[in-house]
Each structure stands twice: as C-alpha cells, then as structure tokens.
Amino acid sequence: MCENVGCCAPDLTSQRRNAASGCRERWHIAPSGKATPEGADQDRRLGPRLILTGPRAGVIRHGAQHCRKRKAYISQSVRTVHILCGLFTNCAIPSRCMSDLLGHPLSDTDRDNPFTPDFGVSPHVMAGRGAQTEELRTGLGLGPRNPRFTSVLIGHRGTGKTVLIDHAESMAARAGWHVLKTDATTPGIYERLEEDIAASIDDDVIDVSGGGTSRSETEWRLGVGVASVSRKSLPSMPDKWSLKRKIEVLGRSAAERNSAVLISLDELQSGDRQELRRLSADLQHLTKRGELPIAFVGAGLPVIEYTIMRDPKMTFFHRCHDIHLGPIDRTSALEFFSRAIRSAGGECDGDAMHLMSEASRGLPYKMQLIGDNAWRFSGSPHGRIDLQTARLAVSEAERRMTTRVYSHVWDSLSGADHSVLQQIAGAGGTTTRRSLGAAMPMKPSDLSNRLRRLETLGCVDRDGAQHIELGVLTPTGFVNDIIAEEAAVTPDPARIASSTAAPSAATTERRCNRPLKTINATCILRAGHKGRCRSR
C-alpha cells in the first residue's frame, strides 16, 4: 500500500479477512498524507468497511464519488469515507477526481480548509462548548424527571445554537431514538412534526397504539441501465388522531423499548404565538405531567426572555432548563485556531494566532470567518499565516459581520437604545454608570432597565457594578461609523439657527408697531399706512 491513501486501497486479502470477522478497518491520515492503521473496530451490523479519519481523509471523497473502480458511502462527516467494496487493490485515483462539484480542479487550499464560515454548519473543531454539550448529554440520558431532559438554548447570532441542536439530534439518533426536528421560522410547526412522525412509525408503534392504518408509497429503484418502480404498504396512524396523541403513542412505544423521543425546535423567537402555546400545552401534559420519555431541545435568540419566557400560556418553556451560550473565553478561542490550523496541515505564527483570537471576541461564527479568511489569504496549507495576513483576515471578517450580524441587531433596537449606545461609543467605548446617567435624559430606574436589556441582547457588557462597555454585537467601531453616517446627513446646527433667526432691524422698521388700546398687541401694518391699526 502506498503512503498516499488518496491513491490506493487496502489489499483484497485484508478486506476478505475483515469480511469474515465482521469488523471495520480504521486508518488515520496524517497531514502529510501518510496512512497508518489504528486497529479494527468490531461492528457486525455494518460488515466490512474501511474507515479513514484525520485531517487528510477528506481528499479521497471526490475520488470515491467519481472513480468507477470504487463503491463508497459518504457519511455525514465531511472528513470520513466508508469504502464498502474490497474488489480493488492499489487503485490510483485519476487527477480528474480531485475536482469540485462543477468539475473544476480543486486546490489544496480549498480542499483542506478546516473552517466553515456559515450559520448552522457543524465545525470541524468545536472548542469552548464542552460544558454545554455535557449538560445536553447528561440531561437527555437521565430521563423526564431530570429538568435538563427539556432544555432551551439561548444565545446571540453566531454563538452555535444550531450546531448544539444538531449535536443533540446526532446523540439521540445514535442511541436509536425517534428524532422529530423542525424550526419555527414559518407557520406550520405541527404539519412538519406530523411528517417526521409518519417517517418514524413502524409495526411496534402501531402495536402500542392499539390501532392503525396503512398507506401506500411509490418506491423507485435505479440500477445500471435499468429502473423499476413498485408500491409498498407502510404502517401509519389514523389521520383523525391529533398530533398530541401521535406523539404520546410514539413516546409509549419508545418507553417499552427503553428508548425515547427527541423533539428539536430551532428559531423559537420567530415562532407563531398560537402554535407555540399549543405545543407548550401538549408537551407540558406529555413530558412534565405524564413523565413520558419525550425530550425537547429548543433554541432562540435572547429576545425570547422578554417574549416566550414571559408568556403566561407557555409554562412548559418557562420550566425548561435554560442553557445560555455566551462568547467563548480567549483561551478556548486560541485553542480553536491552533487545533483547526494544525489538524489541516497549516502553520500560523504565534502573534497572528493571538490577534485572531482577540479580534474574534469569542463569537464562534466570527472565529470561523477570521480563520477562513486567514487560510485563504495565506494559501494554506502550503503558505504560512503571518501577522499581516491575520490583520487582513480580521478586517474582512469585520466587514462581513457588519452586514450579516451587527446591522441586524442595530435595526432591532429602539431610538432610545441607539442614544445610549452612541453615548458610550462617544466616550471611547467604555464609561461609568454615573457618567452615563448624567448624560442621558432619563430616570435612573429606566436607564438601569434599559442597560439590563441591552446586556441580555449582547449590546453592552458590565465590568463590575459601575463600568459599562459596548458588547460583542455592537462594537465601538461599528457604532462610531453609525454616528459618522448620521452626522453626514444631519444639517449643520449653525445653518439651522441662521435660517430661523429673528427678523432684522430693517424688516421691523417697515411695520407700524403702534400699541393698540383694547388688546395687548401692536399694529402689524406697514409704517405710514392709512386708516385704523390692525393686530391681524
């Protein structure tokens, strides 16, 4: 076997031996491309497979997809390929296989990039979220009597809420749970959940329900040069059943198998109020009162603390265990950049790595943006990330953050909120409560409530009892740019004063201005007029 695993496969003898024992052969791919065996994992359900792991494992996935001599299953993990066929030895992957989905040649920089700068995409390296991940794991494992069995993730944009929901779903799926996942971005939560339930039903569920029906489904089969179509009968629950009853049947079926059901709901802040109230009432009866193994993991922006969490008709969400996702500490951010870059075979100077971790301010999405820019600008893994490259990467990341995060947060705030933030920015980005209270024309209690709300939304941070600074979602540079833009379109106060000044002496002399006896007024007619004086 040659050292570059992207160009070869294990010999046939090894695969036949593994096929007889029902195990999987595991090889680790180092950044250099050298493959080393890690032993065999017993798994008789999966049969013979070759599992490739490591930072360079991703290089063969394009070859596995396009090379006719291979048959492969591409798993959800971007960097793992399961080879299902052992009928090849030393199969060289042609250069055309090293291409993107459009058939263009794929560079090492793009192929080995360990950063994923997009919302809701699982990162290759997760750092700083170990405590929250452990909370989810233990809560789901301990069952409905544990408060963490139903949890709500609360965090700003780009803090990794969707990633943790995906992680919870993966844990549940690996344990054999029924996973019902949806989001509240648009109305129709119940319809989407019913679709997932229909796909999860089996004969065991129907047996528990004490009744059921069947539905027909068309199945297409594609082969080499041939296609076939057939219809098969699948078990289903009666259409007249409510979603609450269907979830209850699913939960009772799972309980008999010592399993559970997981319902995940993302984007809670966008949910229809009536739908969320109905779901809250149903889950309150099933999970909290009925103690059925029906877990719940939701996620939303911090604004839900002022909406959903204060709605008297959503007590289920009030009783869920809240997991707050704040910024990652600087040590974890530094560890993230170090692990991600080195695992993909890249190199980075120490001062550049410290600059990137400081500039990210612990926001996972911003960390991915900075890392992706630095990786591409330096031409890694062949190029080295130096301080100049890191500065360019941070500058570009700030531009993207302004359009995708900062501006959205700013537009959601009120005019009074803007005034408070602009006052703090005018003081250099940090001030004291006393100075801010003296500068703002509002009651101390109103200012305290506003600051507390802005802190929840990630717009200000409090350092102790007195010191206040701008938060991660409204940084000083961004707010100063807003101030400059408003000043550019605001008329000059001196010009406004001159345009509204009192009439000149020459103008007043042209009027009569004779006092009138009956009323407290003067004549408004021109001086030297004929007839009686008039006040209007």
Which DSSP string corresponds to 371-388?
HHHHHHHHTTTTSEE-HH
Averaged over 223-245, what is the pLDDT? 62
Intervals of CATH 3.40.50.300 along the chain: 133-325
pLDDT tens digit sequence for 141-181: 999 999 999 999 999 988 889 999 999 999 999 999 999 99
Taking alpha carbons only, the member of 36, 82, 29, 83 closest to residue 57 is: 29
More confident position, 68 or 449: 449
Q: What are residue 416's phi and psi, to 5 degrees?
A: -65, -40
DSSP code, position 4: B
- Cβ(112)–Cβ(381) below 8 Å: yes
Is residue 424 within 8 Å of 480, Cβ to Cβ? no
Q: Which two tokens stand for residue 9?
A: 């496969």
Q: Which of the residue ranges 12-26, 40-54, 114-128 has the most confident prediction, judged by mean pLDDT?
A: 114-128
Compute the distance between CA of residue 284 and CA of residue 319 in angstroms, rounded to an integer. 9
Residue 340: name the closest of 358, 322, 317, 364 by CA. Answer: 364
User: What is the CB-side half-sphere exposure of residue 104 using CA atoms within 13 A?
Assistant: 5
Q: Residue 473 is which amino acid?
A: L
- When pLDDT is cut at 50, 70 and 90, the band that residue 92 belongs to is very low
- Residue 66: predicted pLDDT: 34
Distance between CA atoms of residues 282 and 28, nearest Å: 47
Listed range (40-54, 399-413, 453-467, 519-533) with the worst mean pLDDT: 40-54
Distance CA 53, CA 60 (A): 11
Residue 308 DSSP code: G
pLDDT of residue 219: 52
Enter the pTM of the model.
0.69
% of the chain surpassing 90 pLDDT:
50
Assigned token pair, 300: 């939303």
The pLDDT, as a whole number, for residue 68 is: 32
Residue bearing the bigger pLDDT, 445 or 526: 445
pLDDT band with cut points at 50, 70 and 90 for residue 223: low
What local confidence, expressed as pLDDT, does residue 20 receive? 34
Q: Which pairing describes strands 294-300 and 150-155: parallel, antiparallel, or unpaired? A: parallel
Nearest-angstrom CA–CA distance, 439 and 430: 14
Q: Is the per-residue pLDDT at 137 higher than 80?
A: yes
Average pLDDT, the chain: 77
Quickly state the pLDDT bin for 104 (edges 50, 70, 90).
Answer: confident
Average pLDDT for 249-271:
93
Answer whether residue 446 shows pLDDT above 80. Answer: yes
pLDDT for 178-200, tens place per residue?
999 999 999 999 999 988 888 77
- Quick one: which of 355, 419, 416, 424 has its CA closest to 391? 355
What are the start-end ranges of the H helices in 201-272? Answer: 203-209, 243-256
Strand partners, 460: 470
Helices and strands in the chain: count of H runs, count of E runs: 21, 17
pLDDT of residue 211: 52
**Domain(s) of CATH 1.10.10.10: residues in the chain:** 413-489
pLDDT of residue 16: 33
So what CATH class is 413-489? mainly alpha
Domain formed by 133-325, architecture: 3-Layer(aba) Sandwich (3.40)
Record the tokens describing residue 217, joined without a space. 């489904």
Q: What's phi and psi for 513, nearest 5 deg?
A: 60, 25
